[in-house]
Homo-oligomer: A and B are copies of this chain.
Amino acid sequence: MRRSHRIAVITKILSEHPHQLFSLTDFAEKFGAAKSTLSEDLAVIKEAFAQMGLGKIETMPGAAGGVRYVPKLSGMEVLARISRLCERISDPGRILPGGFIYLSDITSDPVVIHDIGEMFASYFAEAHPQYIVTVETSGIPLALATAHYLNIPMVVVRRVSQVSEGSVVTVNYVTGSSQRIQTMSLARRALPVGSRVLLVDDFMRAGGTLRGLAELMAEFESQVVGMGVLIEMKQPAAKLVKDYVSFISLEEIDSTNQVVKAVPAGWIKP
């Protein structure tokens, strides 16, 4: 196999398995090539990715070493993705009766969700989470994409506990916006005690759900190392959680004048 062929195959394997370590010995066997030859192939891929801002190729020396692809988006790319999405959200056709806004097409669009998952993974990788935790239903696609790009498992907290999940831990929490009491449950075996978790959700109003999730994590003696939400409502301004990161601020849903205004969060810089 020629170098250019090997480069195509290795690039495909690495890009499709972010944060997964591949041993050079395995690649050498697969291609019937010397490890020194493969190191040269990897140097080419690394240069090409760096030149186009496509993330990092990390090589680790030694017997336990190998190579892995680490997604890393530039501020400019994040801003471009978020701006495109804000434009799509700022559409008065999304206004529903009761001042709600229709977002299901976005939270179930695989192209958007993969773009955002890569962005979340890029942002939160350095917090070294071991699990992505979300609550059903609409946050699941985003959580899965983030888990894919970080190569860690996802854990889905249920609103209604399932008989097919064994013994569960349940917490009651108060929603921030409507002040209703709700419950959420997680199977004991779904999350090892003492884990580092990243909480992910698609939408946040006052933050009651995220606070409930954080309380549930405390029951598992787990540490919340980050909280990421895609879209945050600007109102109410007083939120029930601190230290969360949101990417889009939904500033206005005005059903009388038919205006929806979504803007990139202020911290995102090109």
Contacts and interface: CB of A to CB of B under 8 A. Distances in A.
A85 interface: no
Contact of A12 (B49, B100, B111, B158): B49
Interface SS of chain A: helix
A164 B148 CA distance: 28
B5 A4 contact: no
A152 to B, nearest CB: 8
B54 A9 contact: yes
Interface in A132-146: 136-138, 140-141, 144-145
Interface in A67-116: 96-98, 100-105, 108-111, 113-114
A67 to B, nearest CB: 13
Contacts of A110: 144, 147-148, 151-154
Contact of A163 (B49, B100, B104): B100
A156 interface: yes
**Interface-central residue, A103, A108, A156, by most chain B CB under 10 Å:** A108
Contacts of A54: 9, 12
Nearest to A12: B15
**Interface-central residue, A2, A6, A103, A141, by most chain B CB under 10 Å:** A141
Contact of A97 (B52, B102, B105, B166): B166
22 contacts: A1-B48, A4-B7, A7-B7, A7-B8, A9-B48, A9-B54, A11-B11, A15-B15, A98-B163, A100-B164, A103-B164, A104-B165, A104-B190, A105-B189, A108-B153, A108-B154, A110-B144, A110-B148, A111-B151, A137-B137, A137-B156, A140-B144
Interface of A: 1-9, 11-12, 15-17, 44-45, 47-49, 51-52, 54, 96-98, 100-105, 108-111, 113-114, 136-138, 140-141, 144-145, 147-148, 151-156, 158, 163-166, 187, 189-190
The 8 closest A-B pairs by CB, nearest first: A5-B48, A8-B48, A110-B148, A11-B11, A100-B164, A110-B147, A108-B154, A8-B45
